[in-house]
Amino acid sequence: MSKQERAAGHFSINESLLFEEGSPGRRAFDLSPLDVPLKQMGDLMDPELLRGEIDGMPELSEVDVIRHFTRLSTWNYHIDLGLYPLGSCTMKYNPKINERVARLEGFAFAHPYLPAQMIQGALEVQKTLEDCLAEISGMDAITLQPAAGAHGELTGILMVRAYHESRGNPRRSILIPDSAHGTNPASAAIAGYVVESVPSNKRGTIDIGALQKIVNHEVAAIMITNPNTLGIFESEIAEITELLHRQGALVYMDGANLNALMGMTRPGDFGIDVLHINLHKTFTTPHGGGGPGAGPVAVKKVLEPFLPYPVIESKTDGTYSFNYDRPHSIGRIKAYNGQFGMHVRALCYILANGAEGLKEVSEVAVLNANYIRSKLKSAYALAYDSASLHEVVFSDRLQARKDVHVWDIAKRLMDYGFHPPTVSFPLIVPGAIMIEPTESESRQELDAFVQAMLAIDTEAEQNPEIVKSAPHTTRVGRIDEAAAARKPILRWRAG
């Protein structure tokens, strides 16, 4: 199959809103005959509190609803359709066995208010996942509560604050490298800290000389991503953690890129005190709008007293219980004990792979990124020469000479049947193109992507207009993003 054949034309049905469809009397359900006396709602509660009929509520049959959502789904590009190489966001295939296990009756229908003795299996899943994550990360204790990576960051920094407060001084600032995810400074600020930026050196890693100048007794912690958002391993991480520890500061790791490290090295072994783990990025749970998030936080012993409560404890008789008696805890940060369904999926992936399998996951993720790096580096400028791990960052420098920019390249990729990679991030790389293929992809899929990228480079040289006006084959052509943001139309219909 040639690259032109990959994205073929296919009909795509224009779809109205559900509110514009239907007809009076249509139903998608059929209730049994009433076998108890009829009561009006107004007899059972204050009629003032009742809402009348919703104006224009559509009446639809089952097939109306199924077709509506199926048609909308065909407008979508998703990981089950093809490569989705969003660097840093890590869109990887979610094995279907995860879904099957998460739908087992005992998991899917366990009510969160059931007492612990009735959900022993669910608690065993959570405790086992905690133990697995602790072993993979080299940390001592885990909370599964945070509902997303950024929520995990906030949880971790609140624990950092609680730790310093317990020693008499919460301290003033959090240090964050200039290549960091934008959520890092946001989390630090919400936890009440001043953010100080740490510059990167020419290799794309933390500038230790600059770091030495700003570390002092008022620094609460540094937030490090390792490998960082350039896909580069912070090779001086041991010196960095030691530098911080000497001043009594802690080291937080954004574990977003843990998928590059499994079985190779452990954050706990290179001096990290607290890290969050994005389950979707490393352990194949749904991502973004695809499902609720989960951002467990792992800590060393010194931070263990501050974990959110309750914590799951295994008792000597082999049963599990919730412990709420945690006087130093930062408190509850999420209802119940986090997004349980995500915990089931992550544990399923961990157990299905086993220790050797997880190591291979990281090896293949790194191999795939380096395959793309090696195939594209003659056409696209590498942002940094340093070795890449699980993702590779190019810049649009060579194409920009023809006034073809990263957003043009990204949009043109859609014409070739791919979701674009992450663009314009990390912010320290002008015109960044950040590609993360993940371990899921075959060589054939990677080759098709490489062919598309090389074809776009040739077009940028010979026919830049076709790139600059892309996409041409999508349902919707190039959108005026500036006008959409400056003068947004927020209503379905005017008036």
Partner 1 sequence: MSPDDLLYTKEHEWLRIADNGGTVGITDHAQKELGDIVYVELPKTGTKFNSGETFGSVESVKAVSELYIPVSGEVIEVNEDLGSAPENINEDPYGTGWMIRIRLLNKSETEDLMSAEEYDEYTSEGK
Angle (deg, nearest 10), helices 443-462 and 406-415: 120
Nearer to partner 1, 328 or 402 (CB): 402
Please answer whether residues 445 and 82 qualify as being in contact, where contact means their C-beta atoms are separated by less than 8 angstroms.
yes
Contact characters 164-203, partner 1, x per CB under 8 A:
------------------x---------------------
111 binds partner 1 (CB under 8 A): no
Instruction: Give the residue with the Cβ less far from partner 1, 35 or 481.
Output: 481
State the minimum distance, in angstroms, from the CB of residue 398 to partner 1: 13
Taking CB under 8 A as the binding criterion, the range among 78-86, 128-136, 154-162, 479-487 that sits at the site for partner 1 is 479-487
Provide the 3-class DSSP secondary structure of residue 420. coil
47 vs 182, which CB is nearer to partner 1?
182
Shortest approach of partner 1 to residue 445 CB, angstroms? 28
> From residue 128 to residue 167, what is the string marking binding to partner 1 with x (rule CB under 8 A)?
----------------------------------------
**Which contiguous run of DSSP H or E holds residue 299?**
strand 297-299
Cα(153)–Cα(146) distance, rounded to whole angstroms?
9
Classify 173 as helix, strand or coil.
strand
Q: Which is nearer to partner 1, 39 or 486 (by Cβ)?
A: 486
- Tell me if 485 contacts partner 1 by CB under 8 A: yes
> In the structure encoding, which two tokens stand for residue 409, read together?
């390249």
Residue 371 or 407: which CB sits closer to partner 1?
407
Distances in Å between the Cα of 123 and the Cα atoms of 130, 220, 294 are 10, 34, 16
If the CB atoms of residues 31 and 485 are measured against partner 1, the closer one turns out to be 485
Q: Is 430 in the site for partner 1 (CB under 8 A)?
A: yes
Question: In this structure, are strands 173-177 and 194-198 parallel, antiparallel, or unpaired?
Answer: parallel
**Window 387-426: contact mask with partner 1 (x via CB under 8 A):** --------------------x----------------xx-
In whole angstroms, the minimum distance from the beta carbon of 154 to partner 1 comes to: 19
Report how many helices (DSSP H) and strands (DSSP E) the chain contains, helices first: 17, 13
Q: Segment contacting partner 1 (CB under 8 A): 52-60, 148-156, 318-326, 477-485?
A: 477-485
Half-sphere exposure of 185 (CA within 13 A, CB side): 12
Q: Which of 41, 289, 481, 489 binds partner 1 (CB under 8 A)?
A: 481
For 271, the token pair is 């001096």
CB of residue 218 to partner 1, shortest distance in Å: 16
The strand pair at 311-314 and 173-177 is best described as: unpaired
Least distance between partner 1 and beta carbon 424 (Å): 5
DSSP state of 388: P
Closest distance of CB 183 from partner 1, Å: 12
Neighbours of 307 (CB within 10 A): 22
Give the three-state DSSP class for 468: helix
Q: Which of 13, 28, 335, 427 binds partner 1 (CB under 8 A)?
A: 427
Whole-angstrom distance, CA of residue 135 vs CA of residue 163:
23
Compute the least distance from the CB of residue 93 to partner 1, in Å: 29
Say if CB 139 and CB 299 are below 8 A apart: yes
**Does the protein bind partner 1 through residue 233 (CB under 8 A)?**
no
Give the CA angle between residues 246, 247, 249 to the nearest 5°.
105
**Residue with smaller CB distance to partner 1, 182 or 477:** 182
Does residue 35 bind partner 1 (CB under 8 A)? no
Burial bucket for residue 390 (CB in 10 Å: 0-12, 13-18, 19+): buried
Region from 41-49, 145-153, 436-444, 478-486 binding partner 1, contact rule CB under 8 A: 478-486
Find where tokens 């959409």 sit.
484
Cα gap 320→317, rounded to integer Å: 9
Q: Residue 486, interface with partner 1 (CB under 8 A)? A: yes
**Using rule CB under 8 A, residue 482 touches partner 1:** yes
Which residue ranges make up the site for partner 1 (CB under 8 A)?
A: 182, 407, 424-425, 427, 430, 481-482, 485-486
